[in-house]
Amino acid sequence: MERFYITTPIYYVNAKPHLGHAYTTTVADALSRFHQLMGAETYFLTGTDEHGDKIVQAAEANGLSPMEYVDAISGQFKALWPDMNITNDDFIRTTETRHVKVVQSILQKVFDAGDIYFGEYGGHYCFGCERFYTEKELVDGLCPDHQTKPEYIAEKNYFFRMSKYQGWLREHIRQNPDFIRPEQYRNEVLSLLEGGELEDLCISRPKSRLTWGIELPFDKDFVTYVWFDALINYVSALGYPDGDKFRKFWPAANHLVAKDILKPHAVFWPTMLKAAGIEPFQSLNVHGYWLVRDTKMSKSIGNVIEPLAMKDRYGLDPFRYFLLREMSFGGDSSFSEEALVGRLNADLANDLGNLFNRTLAMTHKYFGGTVPVPVIEDVVDAEIKKLGQDAMRAFQAHFCGLRFSRGLESLWELVRGLNKYIDATAPWTLFKAGNKDRLSTVIYVLLENMRKIAVHLWPVMPESAQTMLAQLGITFARDKFNLPKELEVWGVLESGSTVAETSNLFPRIELPEAHAVVAAKVKPGKAKAGKAKDDTSGKEAPAGGEQSNGTIEFEDFQKLDLRVGTVVEVEPHPDADRLLLVRVDIGEEAPRQVVAGIAEFFAPDDLVGRQVVVVANLKPRKLRKQLSQGMILAVKSGDSLNLLTPSGEVAPGSRVS
Ligand code: MSP
Residue 508 CB neighbours (<10 A)? 11
Q: How far apart are CA 218 and CA 223, in angstroms?
A: 10
Q: Strand 116-126 to strand 131-133: parallel, antiparallel, or no bridges (unpaired)?
A: antiparallel
Beta carbons of 183 and 191 less than 8 angstroms apart:
no
Q: What is the pLDDT of residue 550?
A: 57
Residue 400 annotated in active site? no
pLDDT digits (tens, 9 = 90+) for 384-440: 999 999 999 999 999 999 999 999 999 999 999 999 999 999 999 999 999 999 999
Q: What is the pLDDT of residue 555?
A: 63
Q: How far apart are CA 39 and CA 509, in angstroms?
A: 36
Q: How far apart are CA 427 and CA 440, in angstroms?
A: 9
| Closest listed residue to residue 543, CA positions, set 334, 392, 352 | 334
pLDDT digits (tens, 9 = 90+) for 562-573: 989 888 889 999
Beta carbons of 145 and 126 less than 8 angstroms apart:
yes
Q: How far is the CA of 50 from the centre of ligand 1 (A)?
A: 14
CA dihedral 89, 91, 92, 95 (to 10 degrees): -150
pLDDT at 159 over 90: yes
Q: How far is the CA of 461 from the centre of ligand 1 (A)?
A: 23
Q: What is the pLDDT of residue 249?
A: 98
Q: Residue 95, Cα to own-chain centre: how many angstroms? A: 31
Q: Which residue puts its alpha carbon closest to atom 27 of ligand 1?
A: 289
Q: What is the pLDDT of residue 544?
A: 28
Burial classification of residue 14, based on how many CB atoms lie within 10 Å of its CB (0-12 exposed, 13-18 middle, 19 or more buried): buried
The percent of residues above 90 in pLDDT, for the chain, comes to 73
Torsional sign, CA 132, 134, 135, 136: negative
Q: Residue 256, Cα to own-chain centre: how many angstroms? A: 14
Q: Which of 53-57, 86-90, 132-136 has the lowest mean pLDDT?
A: 132-136
Q: How far is the CA of 261 from the centre of ligand 1 (A)?
A: 7
Q: Which amino acid is at 461?
A: M
Pocket test for ligand 1, best of 13, 16, 18, 23 (most atoms within 8 A of CB): 23
511 lines ligand 1 (CB under 6 A): no
Rounded average pLDDT over 238-265: 98
pLDDT category, 516, cuts 50, 70, 90?
Answer: very low
Torsional sign, CA 429, 432, 433, 437: positive
235 lines ligand 1 (CB under 6 A): no
**End-to-end distance of the chain based on CA atoms, in angstroms?**
54
Q: What SS3 state is found at 625?
A: coil
Beta carbons of 555 and 416 less than 8 angstroms apart:
yes
Q: Which residue puts its alpha carbon closest to atom 30 of ligand 1?
A: 20
Q: What is the pLDDT of residue 168?
A: 98
Q: What is the pLDDT of residue 589?
A: 62
pLDDT at 223 over 90: yes
Cis peptide before 507, with omega less than 30 degrees from 0?
A: no
CA dihedral 614, 380, 343, 477 (to 10 degrees): 140
pLDDT at 49 over 90: yes
Beta carbons of 285 and 402 less than 8 angstroms apart:
yes
Q: How far apart are CA 494 and CA 500, in angstroms?
A: 14
Q: Which amino acid is at 560?
A: L
Q: How far is the CA of 69 from the centre of ligand 1 (A)?
A: 19
Beta carbons of 196 and 204 less than 8 angstroms apart:
no
Q: How far is the CA of 340 from the centre of ligand 1 (A)?
A: 22
Residue 488 CB neighbours (<10 A)? 8
pLDDT at 528 over 90: no
Spatial strand order of the sheet with 131-133 comes to 131-133, 116-126, 151-160, 201-202
Residue 531 annotated in active site? no
In sequence order, what DSSP letters do the residues of 378-399 get, joined into one string?
-HHHHHHHHHHHHHHHHHHHHH
Rounded average pLDDT over 507-529: 50
| Closest listed residue to residue 186, CA positions, set 532, 538, 541, 531 | 538
Q: Which of 145-159, 287-301, 596-610 has the lowest mean pLDDT?
A: 287-301
Beta carbons of 492 and 448 less than 8 angstroms apart:
yes
Rounded average pLDDT over 320-331: 97
Pocket test for ligand 1, best of 260, 290, 533 (most atoms within 8 A of CB): 260
pLDDT at 526 over 60: no
Pocket test for ligand 1, best of 129, 261, 263, 285 (most atoms within 8 A of CB): 261
pLDDT category, 552, cuts 50, 70, 90?
Answer: low
Q: Which amino acid is at 145?
A: D
Q: How far apart are CA 515 and CA 310, in angstroms?
A: 13
Q: How far is the CA of 102 from the centre of ligand 1 (A)?
A: 23
Q: Which amino acid is at 66?
A: P
Q: Which residue intervals of 162-268 are DSSP H helices?
A: 166-175, 183-194, 226-231, 233-236, 244-249, 262-263
Residue 365 annotated in active site? no
25 lines ligand 1 (CB under 6 A): no
Residue 456 annotated in active site? no
DSSP 45: E
Residue 99 annotated in active site? no
Q: How far apart are CA 454 and CA 461, in angstroms?
A: 9
pLDDT digits (tens, 9 = 90+) for 189-215: 999 999 989 999 999 999 998 999 999
Q: Strand 626-628 to strand 131-133: parallel, antiparallel, or no bridges (unpaired)?
A: unpaired
Residue 79 CB neighbours (<10 A)? 10
Rounded average pLDDT over 620-638: 86
Residue 21 annotated in active site? yes
Residue 126 annotated in active site? yes
Q: Which amino acid is at 490?
A: W
Beta carbons of 515 and 338 less than 8 angstroms apart:
yes
Pocket test for ligand 1, best of 8, 13, 48, 49 (most atoms within 8 A of CB): 49
Q: Which residue intervals of 264-378 are DSSP H helices?
A: 269-275, 307-314, 316-326, 337-343, 354-367
Beta carbons of 321 and 468 less than 8 angstroms apart:
no
Q: What is the pLDDT of residue 10?
A: 98
Active-site choice (296, 364, 436, 526): 296
The percent of residues above 70 in pLDDT, for the chain, comes to 93
Torsional sign, CA 258, 262, 268, 274: positive
Please state, rounded to an integer, the average pLDDT across all residues of the chain. 90
Residue 436 annotated in active site? no
Beta carbons of 378 and 424 less than 8 angstroms apart:
no
586 lines ligand 1 (CB under 6 A): no
